[in-house]
Every structure is written in structure tokens, then in C-alpha cells.
């Protein structure tokens, strides 16, 4: 481990087993659909079989008469339940077009899976059975499937908008007007590439589930949901339903993965709440997997045009990017913002002049709405720049690692003010790249490649790489304001030392597999000098943790974790006053270490936190004016994004006769600053890498020309199994972030951000000698084989 | 119809509909919710339990087919408050994150070692190909199973 950090941590940085695990390993953990709710009604939803159609008539009579059915509602019949349409929190431009979107479609359906009729019954099977008895007459309209064709407005999806374009968002940074075009004119080398980020299904293993439970009196309602965002959901549900916010409590029980797909406010959550209130009974819903494929948001869905200009040494002189981003049929919570999160990263980890021209069109199609999916905009951007760098290296006939080295922002340049005005906090790209090259045996592989990749070779060897920045730790509230986002980016924490010196840490983050309970207890233990086993972490219930902005965007540690450290500081400050009072000294004369306050220079004059906790509780003898109890709430608004980085490398062989790819080695060198728990960091990297690799090789939400999703089940949508993927060699460098007291950066999305381009670059590297210069994702054997064949024909 | 199934050592006699799947019998009638449902095509393996000593996907078995049989679920693995060595191996090797696939993955892994007590890494990967995980990338799951084999 390259430890450049001189913190004297004893808990932080150690490999602690997770306290979450026993309940999950023994079946004791409760996911939303595990809750026992006697008397609950079951909601099922009839969904549109058409991508684009007018609803002509709906006959629900037979369904209403079906055994066990309590009520059946069409969209029109529920319209009065909504105080407003479903929320989009990120109107990226003032003139962004956002069609009204309600939990059930009333007059028109805009994608296969759009909700049409809600059935409530006394059992899940009764409500599902009744769906078959509903007759809906549709007038089918032409589907709009291709994002670029949609721009022609030949078939407008939302007539009132008059166009399929939601917005155009520009980021043009020029030192002098016209300098981007000028750079391209004068470039010694340039590349112009088109990449397609296929649609992906997030496929969290737990499908979504919801239960809304009205309280017996007073009008309060509790919503249980498999969500990443109980706090945001509470605000949005209250607004959409017109319920006073203080009457809504949202609880996320154990949540079985999210990857962004549960970072949303969904129709089913609002329907369960509205119907539970209407019927004064609990109402629950659980998603089937094939329903999940259509009704839960999709990820990616972008066409990218990327141009790089470089001087004769390969130094980048300008970057130009045009994005066609597929919004799907409606704007969900942050749909339009996803490509914008990537907008700042198309220059990657490279030192470029003020010559950057980015523009993105957000475009409606008649497909499932897209939204954040692990990395959200940043994997797309990283894929584009890292693939284009390889294209540039091929153009220049130089080694791609050498090209990167010529362009890296150098260690000495940090903190680095980028072309965008954003400041990159810290980094050492060269170190990460060299470490990865060492672990992958870059030099050796190149030598072996020269021997192996001879004309006619059946198996060709390739090595690919990606050096990335992960702009994360979402986010400084003022920066979000400048991007027109509808909320802040702070995170809240409360630290409460109980009379017996046990600790409750209350966090606004909402974990769904990341191990926050373990990591947050480690942070509090480090700060307070209290053993981890005496610290509980409370989360994911808005009644227990009323303030928070939840978990996404690799924000939990660099924002939420830092908030906990800040709350600990406040508690320690208060405890210090009590200690000084007891020791009859000035608070400034005290030092605090290992959970004990002692007088500087007289270590025998000391008082432990346990004594102070009890004194704060009894309040018999506190300094004048000091409130009893040891509790502090702290809200941390980060001054900057955090910028984890790293280099991934992949070595693989391509069978030129079958198109089959075999990964021989995958190396991930990641730098997320100070690591709280390296065990968890590695796990995040493993999972992220395989999700990125899955985009590269396996996964795609495939639609036909009528807008039917052809990959609705796990039999058709290829989430890789253990036998499909390699082991991963992980390593790291440690470059602490200077912007927060823990020196942390976040790691949740890094693996995904680095992986897809690493793998595809390796595939193209293997085949470039036989004329293959690009490879669509997913690079299935058939796709690879076809690319090889068409390259051979072109010769 | 009536079925009699011994679940985690206790004989359970219940009325079920003929179409009731074993997984729904376990979850809805016995409240054994540790067995999870992740798909509707028998692809994900989250619902894996042991039926008469063999790992099966409980969404592919009717409760009626298990009549007279013996079922072990994740809830039945611990003995005297001690987790099964496979559960311990998953904990020690960080073989789980969100935990949703975990009960099925643990049951499948025990089944795998019952058939092949000393598998290679490749054999573990092939042996678990019917169980999907979206969090771990399988790296630490494979490590867990190999570690359990050594116990």
C-alpha cells in the first residue's frame, strides 16, 4: 500500500468484517416484501402492451367481479388523487420540456410497461389474476425507438410539447472565441468517433417492493419501500399527493441493491400511498422481474460523437462532444441530468487548454424512462474519452499508454483548476497508471503480442486500459444550484452519546449493500475513542433520521461520512467543556485521545468519556448555561466534489474464428483517498468492475422496431454469472482528498466507470492489426465475429 | 390439497393450492422470508433451498411435489446460535453486499461442496452459474466457497 497519508488512525483503514452480515446470512433481515402486514390489500398494475397508443376505452367490470378483488381504478379515475405530476427534480435548462407524468396513464400510453389500470385485491394472486379480465381498447400509434430519428419529429410523442426534444444543454469553454474550431483546423492529429451507450437494465437482485400503511388515526401514513432515497421520497410523495410532509414517514427496510434504479420516485409508491389512504388499509405491491425490466428505469442510452484534436506530440488541444441522450417516454427524478453529470468529464484525466465544446440533446422516445444507473453520465463520458484516446494513439501510431502519459494532469498541478472551472482536489495519474501497467505486465504483454498476433493467428492477444476520474461526492449545494438541480447536496448526521456511554450515530445516508453501519461505526469509534461494538448506526427511517439526502453518486462517505466526523467533533467539543469543569482547568488545556480527556502535561489528571456521558445525563454539575446530554447534529455541505481516480487494465484473447473473448487478467488500480474499510472498498471495486464489464460484453436492453422490449427476463438479459467473469486483481494508491477532514473520496461507482472502456479497448487492441478499429457494445461473440468479417472484406 | 413437509426439522402440515410453489409455501405460509424471489424464470437462484439434501430452486418446485420431503432453508442452517461454516466463510470473505442473493447463494454453495468437497476456482464458478449476484462481481463469493471448502 502506498500510504502517503500521515493520519494516526487506529480503526480507520483496518479490514473490519461487516456487522450487517449475520442478519443477511441467516435470513433474519427483512426486505420490504418480507414484512408481515395482516389485512393488507395487494396492488397489481395492468401495463401497456404498446409503445405508443391512445387509450380508447377500458372495461373493468369483469375484473371488479373477480374473486378477492376489492377495487379497480383507471388512470382517469385516480386523476383527482394527485396534487401534481410525478417529480423531475432536475430541469437542466429553463426551457426544458417536461410532459406531465402521472402514476397511471389517463388518455395515452407512451412505452411498453406504462401503467394503465390498478387492481386491489385481498391477495397477490387474486390481484394478478384479475388483470387478465380487463379489456383495454387502444389506437396504436407509431413507436419512436431510435433516439436520433426521434429528433426529426416525424412522430411526436407528447403532442402538447410540439417536439420530441426535451432540451439542449451546452458547455462551451473557449479561451478566445472560435478557438475550438481553430484547434481542429490546426491539429496535427484528430479523431472523430461515434459511440453508442446501449440501454441497460439495472437489475438489482431485489425487485422493487412497496407497502403503504395508514396509521389508525390522525392521517399519518408510513411508506415502506425498496428505495435508495427515503428522505427525498418523503418530500416528493408529500408534494405529489398533497399530504402535509410531517404526516409522511418513509422507511427503507433492507434494500437488495439499487445501482441508481431505486433513486427515484415511482408510480407504485404513490399508488400504494393514495390507495392506502382511500381504503384506510395497508396496500402493498411487489414487482415481478419481467415487470422490473419495463417499469423500473433503464440506464445509459446515449449516442456520443466525440472529436479530439492534438498537436504533433499528441498533446490534446481541443475536445468537441455531441450527445443524443435517450430520455425515454418521460422525465423521472433526475433523467435529464444524467448526461450533464458526465458533461465535465469528456476531457478525462488530461490537461487540456480552454478549448472544450460540449452539447447534449435530451430526446424523448417511446421507451421506458432512463435515469441514473451506476456512474450516471460518468461511465459514458469516460468510455468516450478513453476510447477516443486509443483511437488517437492508433492514428498517431504510438502506444496508448504513452499517449496518456503525455497528457496526464501531473501530480504537482493539483489542486487543478480544470477548463470547466471545477477544481480537481488531488491526484497522481501517472502513479496509478504505472502501478496498473506493472501488475498487468504491460511491457511483457506487448512483447508477447508482437509474437502472437501474426497474420492468420486464431487467437489474438489484446491489452486495454482506461484512466478515469470519478467526479463524485454529490455535491456542493451551490454547484448544484448552478446546474439547476432542485435540491442541495449536503448530508446530515447526529451523534448521541447515551448515559451509559453507548453511542447512536444517526445518518441521512441510506445503504443498500454498501455496509454503512460498519463503516460509520468505524468513523465514530476513531473519533470518539469508543469501541465499535458500543456504537449503533441508525438510518433509512425518516422518523429516526429526519434529515438526509440519501445514497447515490458515491456520496455517502465523502459527504455523509464526513458529516458523522463533524458531529463527533461537536460532541467532543461539548464533552470537553464538561471535562474542563470536572478537572477544574481550561478547556484549551485538555487533550482528547482514546476516549479520555487529560490535562496537557499531567496525564494523571484525566476523565474518560463514560464519566462525562453520565454527568451530561444527570446534569447535576454542569458548567453554567450548558445544556444537559451529549448529542450533536451536524450538516456537511461539501465545498467541492471529490475526485477518485485510477487506471484499469485488461488482458484478453479474442478467438478470431468464433468471436469468443477470454479475459486473462483484469487489473484495477483505484485511488479513493483514505480508505475507511479496505475490505468494503475492494468489494465495491469488484462489483463495479463486473457491472462495467457486463456492459462491454453481455448486457443490452433490446427493443424491436415497434418498441417492444425483447429482454424482459433474466433468461434473455444477460446479467453475467460467476462462470462468465474473471477474478479481479485490485490494488490502490492513496492520495487523500484535501477538502474533507477524513481525506476520503468515495468508491461506489469507480469500478463501473473504468471498466467498460478498458475491456472494449482491449478487444479493439487485439483486433486492430486485422483492421478492426471499433467495437459496439455489448461485444458478444457474434458482434465480434461480424466486426472481424467486415474488416476482412474492407481490406 | 394438504401437504406434509419437514422444514428445518419441523414437520409442517398445511393446506395449499395445487399451483402453490414451494417458495411461496415457505414465505407466505411458514413466514420463512429468508428465501428470496428475484425473478420469474428460474434464472437467478435467489430462492435456492435444499430439498431432500439437494440444492433446488424453490420457484421450480410445487409445494405438492415436496410433499413428504425434507426442506432446509437458510433459517435452518445455524446450530446453537453458530452460523454454518459456509455462512461464516461468506462473512469472513465479504462474500455479500446487499444480501438479497445471499441465502440462495449460500444454499447453492453448500450443495456444491456436498457434491465436490474440494473444487477448483473454475469448478466453483461453474457450479454457481445458476445463482446471480449483482453486487460482488462474484470475486469474494468464489473466495468464500473456496475458504469454506478448506474448513
Mean pLDDT of chain A: 97
Q: Which long-range contacts (CB under 8 A, 24 or more apart) does B142-147 make?
A: B142/A722, B142/A727, B143/B93, B143/B95, B144/B86, B144/B89, B144/B90, B144/B92, B144/B93, B144/B95, B144/B109, B145/B86, B145/B89, B145/B95, B145/B109, B145/B112, B145/B113, B145/B119, B146/B119, B146/B121, B147/B89, B147/B92, B147/B93
Tens digits of per-residue pLDDT, A722-760? 999 999 999 999 999 999 999 999 999 999 999 999 999
CATH of domain A9-28+490-636: 3.30.365.10
CA distance A468 to chain B (A): 20
Is the minimum CB–CB distance between B7 and chain A shorter than 8 Å?
no
Mean pLDDT of chain B: 97
Most A CBs within 10 Å: which of B98, B110, B125, as the mutation test of the A interface?
A: B98
Annotate B75-108 with DSSP letters as a single string. Answer: GG--BTTBPPHHHHHHHHTT--SS-SSHHHHHHH
Structural fold of domain B85-150: DNA polymerase; domain 1 (1.10.150)
Is the minimum CB–CB distance between B82 and chain A shorter than 8 Å?
no
Is the minimum CB–CB distance between A30 and chain B shorter than 8 Å?
yes
Is the minimum CB–CB distance between B8 and chain A shorter than 8 Å?
no
**Which residues of chain B are in CATH 3.10.20.30 domains?**
2-76
Cβ contact A205–B38 (<8 Å): yes
Q: How confident is the model at residue A5 (pLDDT cuts 50, 70, 90)?
A: low
What mean pLDDT is predicted for residues A424-451? 98
Percent of chain B with pLDDT over 90: 99
Task: Tell me the three-class secondary structure of A585-643, residue by residue.
Answer: CCHHHEEEECCEEEECCEEEEEEEHHHHHHHHHHCCCCCCCCCCCEEEEEEECCCCCEC
- Among candidates A294, A261, A338, which has minimal Cα distance to A92? A338
Tens digits of per-residue pLDDT, A137-196? 999 999 999 999 999 999 999 999 999 999 999 999 999 999 999 999 999 999 999 999
Cβ contact B137–A28 (<8 Å): no
User: For residue A23, which residues of chain B lie inside 8 Å, CB to CB?
Assistant: 99
Q: Which CATH architecture has domain B2-76?
A: Roll (3.10)
Q: Which pLDDT belongs to residue A217?
A: 84
Tens digits of per-residue pLDDT, A695-718? 999 999 999 999 999 999 999 999
User: For residue B74, which residues of chain A lie inside 8 Å, CB to CB?
Assistant: 25-27
What mean pLDDT is predicted for residues A344-360? 98
Strands A661-671 and A729-734: parallel
Q: Which pLDDT belongs to residue A1?
A: 36
Is the minimum CB–CB distance between B138 and chain A shorter than 8 Å?
yes
Cβ contact B91–A17 (<8 Å): yes
**Which residues of chain B are in CATH 1.10.150.120 domains?**
85-150
- Among candidates A292, A294, A685, A257, which has minimal Cα distance to B101? A257
- Asked whether this chain's domains A9-28+490-636 and A299-474+640-794 adopt the same fold, the reply is yes
Residue with cell 423500473: A296
Closest chain B residue to A728 measured between Cα atoms?
B139
Q: How confident is the model at residue A685 (pLDDT cuts 50, 70, 90)?
A: very high
Give the number of other Cβ atoms within 10 Å of residue A175's Cβ. 11
Q: Is the confidence at residue A531, as pLDDT, over 50?
A: yes
What mean pLDDT is predicted for residues A426-442? 98
Map residue A106 onto helix, strand or coil: coil
User: For residue B138, which residues of chain A lie inside 8 Å, CB to CB?
Assistant: 686, 690, 721-722, 725
User: For residue A203, which residues of chain B lie inside 8 Å, CB to CB?
Assistant: 134
Candidates B38, B130, B138; nearest CB to A206:
B38
Q: How confident is the model at residue A459 (pLDDT cuts 50, 70, 90)?
A: very high
Is the minimum CB–CB distance between A714 and chain B shorter than 8 Å?
yes
Q: Is the confidence at residue A4, as pLDDT, over 90?
A: no
Q: Is the confidence at residue A6, as pLDDT, over 90?
A: no
User: For residue B43, which residues of chain A lie inside 8 Å, CB to CB?
Assistant: 713-715
What mean pLDDT is predicted for residues A329-335? 98
What mean pLDDT is predicted for residues A575-604? 96
Cβ contact A18–B130 (<8 Å): no
Sorted by sequence, the CB contacts under 8 Å of residue A672 that are 6+ apart come out as A644, A681, A732, A744, A745, A746, A747, A750
Can you identify the CATH homologous superfamily of domain A32-141+207-255+262-295?
Aldehyde oxidase/xanthine dehydrogenase, a/b hammerhead (3.90.1170.50)
Residue with cell 454469472: A721
- Among candidates A337, A322, A348, which has minimal Cα distance to A419? A348
DSSP count for chain B of H helices, then E strands = 5, 5
Is the minimum CB–CB distance between A167 and chain B shorter than 8 Å?
no
CA-only gyration radius of chain B, Å:
15
Map residue A250 onto helix, strand or coil: strand
Cβ contact B98–A679 (<8 Å): no
Is the minimum CB–CB distance between B20 and chain A shorter than 8 Å?
no
User: For residue A662, which residues of chain B lie inside 8 Å, CB to CB?
Assistant: none
Tens digits of per-residue pLDDT, B50-97? 999 999 999 999 999 999 999 999 999 999 999 999 999 999 999 999
What mean pLDDT is predicted for residues A627-641? 97
Tens digits of per-residue pLDDT, A355-401? 999 999 999 999 999 999 999 999 999 999 999 999 999 999 999 99
Is the minimum CB–CB distance between A34 and chain B shorter than 8 Å?
yes
| Angle made by CA atoms A71, A33, A51, in degrees to the nearest 5 | 60
pTM above 0.90, yes or no: yes
- Listed by start position, the domains of chain A span 9-28+490-636, 32-141+207-255+262-295, 299-474+640-794
Q: How confident is the model at residue A216 (pLDDT cuts 50, 70, 90)?
A: confident
Q: Is the confidence at residue A2, as pLDDT, over 80?
A: no
Q: Which CATH architecture has domain A299-474+640-794?
A: 2-Layer Sandwich (3.30)
Is the minimum CB–CB distance between B85 and chain A shorter than 8 Å?
no
Is the minimum CB–CB distance between A561 and chain B shorter than 8 Å?
no
What mean pLDDT is predicted for residues B22-49? 97
Is the minimum CB–CB distance between A743 and chain B shorter than 8 Å?
no
Residue A758 phi, psi dihedral angles, 5° rounding: -60, -45
CA distance A749 to chain B (A): 12
Amino acid at each position: 500500500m502506498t500510504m502517503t497519508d500521515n493520519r494516526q488512525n487506529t480503526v480507520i483503514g483496518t479490514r473490519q468484517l461487516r456487522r450487517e452480515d449475520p442478519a443477511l446470512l441467516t435470513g433474519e433481515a427483512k426486505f420490504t416484501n418480507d414484512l408481515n402486514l395482516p389485512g393488507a390489500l395487494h396492488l397489481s398494475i395492468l401495463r401497456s402492451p404498446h409503445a405508443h397508443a391512445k387509450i380508447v376505452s377500458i372495461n373493468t367490470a369483469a375484473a371488479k367481479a373477480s374473486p378477492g378483488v376489492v377495487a379497480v381504478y383507471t388512470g382517469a379515475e385516480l386523476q383527482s388523487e394527485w396534487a401534481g405530476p410525478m417529480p423531475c427534480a432536475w430541469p437542466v435548462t429553463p426551457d426544458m420540456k417536461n410532459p406531465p407524468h402521472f402514476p397511471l396513464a389517463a388518455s395515452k400510453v407512451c412505452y411498453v410497461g406504462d401503467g394503465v389500470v390498478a387492481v386491489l385485491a385481498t391477495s397477490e394472486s387474486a390481484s394478478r389474476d384479475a388483470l387478465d379480465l380487463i379489456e383495454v381498447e387502444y389506437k396504436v400509434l407509431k413507436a419512436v425507438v431510435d433516439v436520433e430519428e426521434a429528433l426529426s419529429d416525424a412522430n411526436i410523442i407528447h403532442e402538447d410539447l410540439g417536439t420530441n426534444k426535451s432540451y439542449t444543454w451546452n458547455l462551451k469553454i473557449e479561451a478566445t472565441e472560435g478557438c475550438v474550431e481553430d484547434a481542429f483546423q490546426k491539429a496535427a492529429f484528430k479523431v472523430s468517433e461515434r459511440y453508442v451507450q446501449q440501454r441497460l437494465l439495472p437489475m438489482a437482485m431485489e425487485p422493487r417492493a412497496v407497502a403503504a400503511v395508514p396509521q389508525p388515526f390522525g392521517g399519518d401514513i408510513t411508506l415502506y419501500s425498496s428505495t435508495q432515497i427515503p428522505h427525498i421520497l418523503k418530500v416528493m410523495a408529500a408534494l405529489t399527493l398533497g399530504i402535509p410532509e410531517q404526516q409522511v414517514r418513509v422507511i427503507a427496510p433492507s434494500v437488495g441493491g439499487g445501482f441508481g434504479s431505486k433513486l427515484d420516485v415511482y408510480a407504485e409508491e404513490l399508488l400504494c400511498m393514495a390507495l392506502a389512504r382511500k381504503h384506510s388499509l395497508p396496500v402493498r405491491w411487489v414487482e415481478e422481474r419481467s415487470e422490473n425490466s419495463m417499469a423500473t428505469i433503464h440506464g445509459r442510452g446515449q449516442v456520443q460523437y466525440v472529436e479530439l484534436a492534438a498537436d504533433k506530440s499528441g498533446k490534446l488541444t481541443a475536445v468537441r462532444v455531441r450527445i443524443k441522450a435517450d430520455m425515454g417516454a418521460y422525465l423521472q427524478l433526475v433523467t435529464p441530468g444524467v448526461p450533464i453529470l458526465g458533461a465535465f468529464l469528456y476531457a478525462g484525466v488530461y490537461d487540456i487548454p480552454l478549448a472544450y465544446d460540449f452539447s447534449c440533446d435530451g430526446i424523448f422516445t417511446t421507451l421506458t424512462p432512463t435515469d441514473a444507473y451506476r456512474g450516471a453520465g460518468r461511465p459514458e463520458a469516460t468510455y468516450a474519452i478513453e476510447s477516443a484516446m486509443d483511437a488517437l494513439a492508433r492514428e498517431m501510431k504510438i502506444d496508448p499508454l504513452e499517449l496518456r502519459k503525455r497528457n496526464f494532469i501531473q501530480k504537482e498541478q493539483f489542486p487543478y483548476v480544470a477548463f470547466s472551472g471545477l477544481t480537481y482536489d488531488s491526484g497522481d495519474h501517472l502513479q496509478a497508471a504505472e502501478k496498473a501497467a506493472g501488475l498487468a505486465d504491460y511491457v511483457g504483454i506487448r512483447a508477447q503480442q508482437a509474437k502472437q498476433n501474426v497474420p492468420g493467428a486464431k487467437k489474438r492477444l489484446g491489452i486495454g486500459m482506461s484512466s478515469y476520474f470519478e467526479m463524485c461526492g454529490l455535491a456542493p449545494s451551490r454547484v448544484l444550484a448552478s446546474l439547476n438541480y432542485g435540491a442541495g447536496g449536503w448530508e446530515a448526521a447526529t451523534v448521541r452519546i447515551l448515559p451509559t456511554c453507548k453511542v447512536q450515530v444517526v445518518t441521512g445516508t441510506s445503504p443498500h449493500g454498501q455496509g454503512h453501519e460498519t463503516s460509520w461505526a468505524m468513523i465514530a469509534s476513531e473519533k470518539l475513542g469508543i469501541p465499535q461494538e458500543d456504537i449503533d448506526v441508525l438510518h433509512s427511517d425518516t422518523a429516526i433520521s429526519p434529515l438526509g439526502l440519501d445514497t447515490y453518486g458515491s456520496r455517502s462517505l465523502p459527504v455523509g461520512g464526513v458529516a458523522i466526523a463533524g458531529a463527533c467533533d461537536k460532541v467532543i467539543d461539548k464533552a470537553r467543556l464538561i471535562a474542563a469543569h470536572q478537572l477544574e482547568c481550561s478547556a484549551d488545556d485538555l487533550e482528547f485521545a482514546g476516549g479520555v480527556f487529560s490535562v496537557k502535561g499531567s496525564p494523571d489528571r484525566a476523565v474518560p468519556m463514560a464519566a462525562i456521558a453520565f454527568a451530561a445525563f444527570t446534569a447535576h454539575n454542569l458548567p453554567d448555561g450548558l445544556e444537559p446530554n451529549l448529542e450533536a447534529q451536524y450538516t456537511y455541505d461539501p465545498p467541492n466534489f471529490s475526485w477518485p481516480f485510477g487506471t484499469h487494465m485488461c488482458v484478453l484473447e479474442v478467438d478470431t474464428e468464433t468471436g469468443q473473448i477470454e479475459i486473462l487478467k483484469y487489473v484495477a488500480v483505484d485511488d479513493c483517498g483514505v480508505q475507511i474499510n479496505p475490505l468494503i472498498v475492494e468489494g465495491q471495486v469488484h462489483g463495479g468492475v463486473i457491472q462495467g464489464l457486463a456492459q462491454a460484453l453481455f448486457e443490452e436492453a433490446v427493443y424491436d422496431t415497434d418498441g417492444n422490449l425483447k429482454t424482459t427476463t433474466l433468461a434473455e438479459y444477460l446479467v453475467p454469472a460467476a462462470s462468465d467473469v474473471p477474478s479481479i486483481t485490485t490494488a490502490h494508491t492513496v492520495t487523500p482528498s484535501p477538502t474533507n477532514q477524513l481525506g476520503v473520496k468515495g468508491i461506489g461507482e469507480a469500478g463501473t466507470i473504468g471498466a467498460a472502456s478498458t475491456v472494449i479497448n482491449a478487444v479493439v487492441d487485439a483486433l486492430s492489426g486485422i483492421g478492426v478499429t471499433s467495437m459496439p457494445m455489448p461485444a458478444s461473440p457474434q458482434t465480434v465475429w461480424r466486426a472481424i468479417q467486415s474488416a476482412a472484406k474492407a481490406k | 390439497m394438504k401437504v406434509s413437509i419437514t422444514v428445518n426439522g419441523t414437520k409442517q402440515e398445511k393446506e395449499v393450492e395445487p399451483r402453490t410453489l414451494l417458495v411461496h409455501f415457505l414465505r407466505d405460509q411458514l413466514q420463512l422470508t429468508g428465501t428470496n424471489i428475484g425473478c420469474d424464470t428460474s434464472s437467478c437462484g435467489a430462492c435456492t433451498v435444499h430439498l431432500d439434501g439437494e440444492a433446488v430452486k424453490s420457484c421450480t418446485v410445487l409445494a405438492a411435489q415436496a410433499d413428504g420431503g425434507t426442506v432446509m432453508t437458510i433459517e435452518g442452517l445455524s446450530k446453537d446460535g453458530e452460523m454454518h461454516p459456509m455462512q461464516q466463510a461468506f462473512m469472513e470473505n465479504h462474500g455479500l453486499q446487499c444480501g438479497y442473493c445471499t441465502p440462495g447463494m449460500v444454499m447453492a454453495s453448500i450443495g456444491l461442496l456436498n457434491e465436490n468437497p474440494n473444487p477448483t476456482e473454475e469448478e466453483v464458478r461453474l457450479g454457481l452459474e445458476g445463482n446471480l449476484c449483482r453486487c460482488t462481481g462474484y470475486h469474494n463469493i468464489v473466495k468464500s466457497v473456496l475458504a469454506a471448502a478448506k474448513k
